[in-house]
Each structure stands twice: as structure tokens, then as C-alpha cells.
Amino acid sequence: METPMVYELRRPKNVVPGKKYPALFVMHGIGSNEHNMLSLVNGLEEFFYIFSVRGHLSQGPGFAYFTIQSYGKPHREIFDNGIDKLTHFIDYASETYPLDSNYLYLLGFSQGAIVSMTLALTLSNKIKGVVALSGYIPLFVKEEYNINPGKNLSVFISHGEFDQVLPFEWGKENVEYFTKLAIPVTFHTYPEGHSVTEKNLQDLQTWLLNEVQR
């Protein structure tokens, strides 16, 4: 099966033949790339197969998973295509590598958080957990997508209180939306802008390790 997207792979140093491993799919922000996210997951490769996935669209000096029609509103057709490509990539990775299908996680920042939350809401039991850093859920996803989260899904959401790119209120709306769906949410806020602080990094890694070791 041919890979549908460009990606960077990190895996345990000593892979045990026949063993299945949890997987972490990492998605970057707009104009960034698959390499810039690896600092957020440094050290986690001892517990996960990590796939840092490049957006398929060129965007400035980097890449994107979709384009923006207006503030907080992606171009629907391009967004749908990006979600479809990421879905196929998750299937590709699951068929190609020794992954435990019960422990697939998503992590995204900004645009990467947007697609991560959308995938978690629509891929049913394929996704065990999602880390969404400074993102939002598009209105058309909530209103028109087939919302079908897995029964064992849990979510980590963080947002900067002074985010100048995606308002802090949007982070709180994410929490409210998942909570209404009876999905467990861990919510962390930080007195920062549109960024990932050292404390945020520690918190998300702790959450992921607790999740995968439960």
C-alpha cells in the first residue's frame, strides 16, 4: 500500500518482533512542517510509534492540511479532502507497521489540532485519544459531519489565555462540545499566546503516558 502523505517516523530503539505498539499521529500548524513538531514528542518514541505527518498543501515556507475561506472557517471542499487524506494515512500506517489498533492517538497544534479533533469525532473506535493544542472545531463539522466518536475516547485540550491567533474562548467551546458528548476532557490553560509552553509540553506528555499505561 503506497503512502498517501509525507511523514517522519520515530519508533522504539528495540522493537520486539510480533509486539504491537501504540501509535501517535502528529499534525503541525499552518505554514509549518513535520519536523517542527518532533520536539513536542521527544522521548515518547519509547512508548509509541510516532508519525509526524506533513500537510499535503504548500503554504508559505511550509505546508497545510487545508486553506481558510474566512476567520475560523476553512474551505469546505479542501478541508474534506485533507480529512480524507489523513484518514487514509492512519489506515496506511496501521496496515504497514506493528500498531495496536486499540491505542491510536492524535496530537495537533493550531491547524493540526483542528484536523485532530475532527478525526477523533468522526473515526469512531479507531481513535483512543487526542491532544488538541490551540485549535477549534469548524461549525460545519459540528453541524454536517457524521459525529461518531469512539466509546473509549478521551481528550486533552490546552489553550493560551492570550492567544492572538485563535481566541481563548474557542478553546473553552471545544471543552463544552466534547463534554456534551460525554467524552472525558482534560483542559489546561496557560498565560501565553498562540504557542506551546514548557509547562504545556510537560502536561501533554504526562497525559499521554498516563493514557497509554492505563
Within a domain: residue 123?
yes
Q: Which of 28, 32, 52, 110 is catalytic?
A: 110
Per-residue model confidence as pLDDT tens digits over 91-112: 999 999 999 999 999 999 999 9
Within a domain: residue 1?
no
**Angle separating helix axes 111-122 and 76-96, nearest 10 degrees:** 70
Whether 4 shows a pLDDT value over 90: the answer reads: no
Question: Does residue 188 have an active-site annotation?
Answer: no
What H or E segment, with its residue span, contains residue 84?
A: helix 76-96
Question: Does residue 194 have an active-site annotation?
Answer: yes
Within a domain: residue 102?
yes
Look at residues 147, 123, 126, 127 and name the one whose alpha carbon lies nearest to residue 137. Answer: 147
Written in H, E and C, the secondary structure of 86-112 is HHHHHHHHHHHCCEEEEEEEEEEECHH
Which residues span the domain enclosing 170? 7-212
44 Cβ contact list (under 8 Å, min separation 6) = 10, 24, 50, 205, 208, 209
Residue with cell 517516523: 9
Residue 48 maps to which CATH number? 3.40.50.1820
Look at residues 204, 13, 4 and name the one whose alpha carbon lies nearest to residue 94. Answer: 4
Within a domain: residue 173?
yes
Q: Which of 56, 100, 194, 195 is catalytic?
A: 194
Within a domain: residue 2?
no
Per-residue model confidence as pLDDT tens digits over 26-84: 999 999 999 999 999 999 999 999 999 999 999 989 999 999 998 889 999 999 999 99
pTM reported for the whole predicted model = 0.97
Within a domain: residue 15?
yes
Within a domain: residue 175?
yes
Tally of structural domains, the chain: 1
Question: Does residue 163 have an active-site annotation?
Answer: yes
What is the overall mean pLDDT for the chain? Answer: 95
Q: What is the pLDDT of residue 214?
A: 74
